[in-house]
Amino acid sequence: MKKKDIFTFRDAEKQAGPAAFSTMLKPAGSSCNLDCRYCYYLDKAVQYGGRQAVMSDQLLELYIKQYIEANEVPVVQFCWHGGEPLLLGVEFYRRAMDLQRKYAAGKRIENTLQTNGTLVDEAWCELFAANNFLVGLSLDGPEELHDAFRLSKGGERTFGRVMRSVELFRECGVEFNTLSVVSRLSEGRGAAVYRFFRDEVRSRYMQFLPAVEHVVEKPGFRRPLIVSPETPGAQRAEWSVTAAGYGRFLCDVFDEWVVADVGRTFVQLFDATLAQWCGVEPGVCSMGETCGDALVVEHNGDVYSCDHFVYPEYKLGNIRETPLAEIYRSARRRQFGLDKRNTLPRECLGCKYYFACRGECPKHRFDRGSDGGPKNTLCEGLKHYFHHVEPCMDHMRDLLARRQPPAWVMPFARRRMGLE
């Protein structure tokens, strides 16, 4: 299919405006103390010749300086990611906080960090609380669901250790949200998973991300290697969520949330969906018209347009050789973002729910539309979700238009479901 060459007024505004982008820093690369079966990042070590080195102090300083300078906005948010970023130790992050203060130049600095939660102790909590970190905690749901995939290198279960981290966060005043992978095993369990996070974890901010990956068998590897779907011999991983299962999972979570918890518990996808209904930016790259504003910086300074496209053919440069500001302004990075919209098939662009879906994440576009364009493999599930939530989203949009709180949708939702 010939790629469409579309450049809109909004694209021009964005290009002409001040640089404002995020980075997901991988200071320990893909190194991790867990061996999660569905992890697409563990296998990046192969791309870097096997065992990965950690980011040097000199490169850390260069990155922090360049990243703060490149963002032409008053607030700069750092996202520490992995692998498992806690493997670097508390002192690494104390040095990073010092460097942030050194180069802040009057800008407000914010920090987020994603962890598997198995290495957290009081020292980590002290660091997080003292520096106002928002910590993302990887937790898939109740014990049997979490421990089905999230095991240590030695095969040990991790649920108990993660729940201990939840207790520590509460005791120490660390702000955290939960990030959960929705796999085939999650199908049919949306309501139970949501209630677990609300009632037992007491998570007020939840993310549910679908696991859809491709694998190949490689001699010498103890597990199938997760690869790009274009790789010869690649097959859909057996733990990948189905489109119908993902759509049903989202609807079941929504039905629990919309009758009792609006304004008290926040689910990232529901917030983004309401934003789309109201015609404002969704704040989630997968639901944006274009993407490419969430760069990945690897442990050695390599930069990529997206966490899901860390493959040699998508490398944009290295901050040792090209300043991060220049990499962000590059034509390759911009084109990557425009391709999210410009490669969609006609039926996507003409779909009733395109305004909300925007084709979702390009990493899930394994199917083909009628004109050959890459189509999201989760399409039918997403359509089911958007159709299901439409009446409540319409109601919340109208409430907001009247300057009334979206939480007032709850009586409306309960009546629709025959609960009152």
Provide the annotated active-site residues. 307
Q: Which residues contact 397 (CB under 8 A, 6 or more apart)?
A: 274, 277, 278
Quick check: bond before 155 cis, omega within 30?
no
Burial of 39 (0-12, 13-18, 19+ CB in 10 A): buried
> Encoding tokens for residue 76?
């700069």
- The whole-angstrom separation of Cα 98 and Cα 404 is 43
Instruction: Give the pairing type, strands 108-115 and 134-138.
Output: parallel
The angle formed by the CA atoms of residues 299, 304 and 310, to the nearest 5 degrees, is 80
Enumerate the H helices of 72-135 as residue ranges: 90-103, 122-130
Measure the CA–CA gap between 410 and 262, rounded to whole angstroms: 7
Please state, in angstroms and rounded to a whole number, the distance separating the CA atoms of residues 306 and 179. Answer: 18
- Residue with tokens 């203060």, as numbered in its chain: 101
Q: Hunting for tokens 């065992």 — which residue is that? A: 51
Pairing of strands 225-227, 205-210: unpaired
